[in-house]
Each structure stands twice: as structure tokens, then as C-alpha cells.
Amino acid sequence: MIWKLTIGFVVVAFLNFIGCYSSETITKKDIDEGKEQIDFNQEISITTKDYKSYRFGALQYQIVNDSLYGNGVVTEFGKEVPFKGNIAFDDIVSFEQSSIDKGSTAGVVIAVVVGGLIAAGVIMWVIFWNEVTPD
């Protein structure tokens, strides 16, 4: 019985740890219009007009005037190469960031806990029923 509880706890802890992440593509137009904002505490991927893909770690980039400055990597010809410099906003097609969906994460964790409690209740009911009505 202790193993079942331990495994249940590990599953819930794992789901809480990984969370429910989704990748959100933000267009330059949405940022210009103020509909979306960039979270500088998250990693960001950028696609430019020349189809290059740049990736910057959290807190490794900043936006100054009409350019993004940072230290990261650029993918060229399928190979990642270190990058340090700036990218003009006019050359950027889209930004992509991963964000956690706290509502979905909480829902999944609650569903697993409730499912475990229901299963434990059914098991206890079967054990009790077998003791009350012996064969």
C-alpha cells in the first residue's frame, strides 16, 4: 500500500514540475500595437525575413529603440553558431516564447489527485464490503 501512495505522490509531483507549457508565436505587429509583450525572463526564439532563426536565453537580450540586442545562437544551414549583436526590428518576422499555462497545470494535478482519491475510496469500499459479507 505504501508503494501505491509513493507512486501517486511521485506522479503528482512530476506533473506539477513539468507543468503545461505552450509555445506562443508573437508577431511584430502585435507588439507594435501593444497587444502582446515580450517576457524578458523567458527564452525567446526569433525568425527573420531571411529565414534565420535566433535563440536567446532568459535575460540574455534586451530591446533598445528599434533593435534587439543579445547573446545567443543563430541557426544557419542547419548548424547553430554563437551570436552576439543586434537584429533590427524591421528584419524580424516573429517572436516565439514558451509560457506556462497555470490553469491547465492545476487542472491536471487536481484531476490526478481526485482520480487517486476515487480509486482509493473504491478499493477501501471493496475491502470493507468483503469483510462485512464473507463468502
Record the pTM.
Answer: 0.54
Q: What's the grid cell of residue 1? A: 500500500
pLDDT tens-digit profile of 29-64?
776 777 777 777 788 888 888 888 899 988 888 888
pLDDT of residue 38: 74
Q: Which domains does the chain have, with CATH numbers?
A: 1-20+101-135 (no CATH), 22-99 (2.30.30.100)
pLDDT tens-digit profile of 82-133?
999 988 888 888 878 765 555 656 666 677 777 778 887 888 888 777 776 6
Average pLDDT over the chain reads: 76
Alpha helices, H only, the chain: 2-18, 28-32, 102-132
